[in-house]
Structure 1
Amino acid sequence: MNFIHLLSDWLHKVEKLLAIILCTVMLISLSAGVFYRYVLSAPLTWSDETAIFSLVWLTFIGGSMSIKQQNSAAVTIFMDRFSGKARMILLGISFLVVLLFVGYIFYQSVIWLSGPTIMMQSSNSMRMPMIFAYLSVPVSFFFLIVHSLDLIVKNFKKKEEVV
């Protein structure tokens, strides 16, 4: 299962690069939109839509990164009461629940994107095929699956070390 860890680390590097690119695209798009609208009095039709699609991708990629780094929001009042093996078992169960949820959403998003009308949809301003925006869901949830598997394997290895 070392492959899963290596894949998770590599995907995390890709996610960091994508996050930097998406933040840059948002900054340039919104800045250009404001400049053209208020300074040149010639608003851009594409800047808002570009920023929105970048934000959508950034949100899903950021969620995946938070799972990898274990920085996602959590209520730990219950988990703080346990230690040792019981805590490891509960963590394993929680990672498994996350994996099952993420796997289900990934499966549903693939079915959704396989629909006949998805390829016909396009954005209002840029006339860009909406599949590019919609792909943020299955791509990021695939990343989440890999990161969740990595966390489960790490948790399992910790259990073996404790015993």
Structure 2
Amino acid sequence: MNDYKTLNDPESQQVSDFHHEDDEVFSYANYRIEDWIALILFWALALTVFSQFVSRYVFSAPLGWTEEVARYQLVCLGFIGGCMGIRNNSHIFVSLFHQWMPERLSVVIYKVIGCFNVVFIAMLAYSAWQIIPLLHIHKMASISLPISVLYGVVFASLLIMLLRSSQFLIQLFNPSHTTNNTQAPTSCD
């Protein structure tokens, strides 16, 4: 989580100019499984929407399945993007009161929020797990594929989120981290 306490650290400062990304060396090791899944889903969504556009406006014969499939692909992409946000610890949080708190109190609050995130995501994953068998009998309107496939992707995404949140929580409670530095870690790679 980036805040004013990490801005004074020269290692965490980032230059906000247009050439900052050019200085970084590309490495496949910087990307995780959720990044590759998101890339594949993004291009599948782009192809689906492009085929809808071409079929509707060029051939005047819209493909019926593209609208529904694109909607489900977007839902899946949103959940996979959530996995990436949790891994990078870039999800939205309120830092207004955190700025005026003592560092020890803010670290305790980071830990409480980390525990809450793990419990909340675990409850969501449990709910998705229970919904999957109930929706197996329901099919999509345009293609004969069960809706439970969508919830399977949501469940898998929630499991990845749970793993990444747990990794972050372990980093927060790591004794070597709390003795050397009182700041919360900024990502869980």
User: TM-score, structure 1 length as denominator?
Assistant: 0.85
* Partner in structure 2 of residue 42 of structure 1: 61
Q: What is the root-mean-square deviation in Å for CA atoms of aligned residues? A: 1.7
TM-superposed deviation, 1:160: 3.7
Inter-partner Cα distance in structure 2 for 1:143 and 1:150: 11
Inter-partner Cα distance in structure 1 for 2:81 and 2:87: 10
Q: Flag structure 1 segments of 5+ consecutive residues without an equivalent.
A: 1-9
TM-superposed deviation, 1:62: 0.7
Q: After superposition, what is the alpha-carbon deviation per residue over 1:48-90, rounded to whole angstroms, capped at 9, x for unaligned? A: 1221111010011111211111111111112112243222111
1:143 equivalent to 2:160? Answer yes
Inter-partner Cα distance in structure 2 for 1:134 and 1:111: 10
More helix by share: 1
TM-superposed deviation, 1:109: 1.4
- With CA pairs under 8 Å and 6+ residues apart, which has the higher RCO, 1 or 2? 1
* Partner in structure 1 of residue 139 of structure 2: 122
Q: After superposition, what is the alpha-carbon deviation per residue over 1:17-70, rounded to whole angstroms, capped at 9, x for unaligned? A: 111111101111111111111111121112112211110100111112111111
Q: Flag structure 2 segments of 5+ consecutive residues without an equivalent.
A: 1-28, 183-189
Give the number of equivalent residue pairs.
151
1:68 equivalent to 2:87? Answer yes
Q: After superposition, what is the alpha-carbon deviation per residue over 1:107-151, rounded to whole angstroms, capped at 9, x for unaligned? A: 111112233xx2211101112111111113211111111111111
Residue aligned with 1:125, SS: coil
Inter-partner Cα distance in structure 2 for 1:51 and 1:103: 27
* Divergent runs of 4+, >3 A: none
